[in-house]
Structure 1
Amino acid sequence: MPIFITQGRFTREAIKGMVVSPEDRADAVGRLLSKAGGRLIGYYVTFGEYDFLVIAEAPGETQMAAVLLAAASGGGVTDLKTTLAMTSIEAKGAFAAAGDLTPGFRSAGGV
């Protein structure tokens, strides 16, 4: 299954609510992913530009998009940024495939 890394921010309202009633959001995120056929690999609260980072597996892009849309629709998170991650073995295969494709490719502006 593809691995996705998502970063995002909590809204001010979500932070206020969690200060009043702290909760482990990893449980909710894990249940949401499970409903879409995926699984939570890791959930971290982070410092800096983003408030959290989620590493998850999902059957595909459509299912991951559905998870993200469902999470965003609740209004507690914003500025979601998701990246598809590849293992080093998958990347090796991509580099090998690129090697097969490059001989016939002309770059923009190339002569």
Structure 2
Amino acid sequence: MPTYITQGRYSRDAIKGMIVRPEDRADQVARLISKVGGRLVAYYVTFGEYDFLAIAEAPDDVQMAAALFAAGAGGGVTDLRTTVALTSIEAKGAFAAAADLAPSFKSAGGG
């Protein structure tokens, strides 16, 4: 299954609510991801530009997008940014495939 890394921010209202009633968001995120046939690998609260980082596996981009849309629709999170991650073995395969493709590709401005 593809791996997805998602970063995002909590809305001001979400932060206010979690101060009043602290909660472990990993549980809700894991339930959401499992409903699309995936699994939550890790969930972190982070410092800096983003408030959290989630690493999840999902069957495909469409299922992951559905989970992200559902999370965003609730209003508690904003600025979701998701990256597809390849394992080093998957990346090795991609580099090998690129070796076959590269010789026939004409780069922009390459004449």
TM-score grouping bracket, smaller chain normalisation: over 0.9
Q: Give 1:97 deviation, angstroms.
A: 0.4
Aligned-residue offset at 1:44: 0.1
The 5 Å alignment of 1:12-23 reads 12-23=12-23
In angstroms, what is the RMSD of aligned CA positions? 0.4
1:64-83, aligned counterparts within 5 Å?
Answer: 64-83=64-83
| Number of residue-to-residue matches in the alignment | 111
- Structure 2: unaligned runs, 5 residues or longer: none
SS state at 2:93 partner = helix
Identity, in percent, stands at 74
| TM alignment of 1:70-109, pairs within 5 A | 70-109=70-109
Deviation at 1:65, TM superposition (A): 0.2
TM-score, structure 2 normalization: 0.99
Gaps of 5+ in 1: none
If the length of structure 1 is used for normalisation, what is the TM-score?
A: 0.99
Task: Quote the offset at 1:30 in angstroms.
Answer: 0.2
SS in 1 for 2:98: helix
**2:56 alignment partner AA:** A
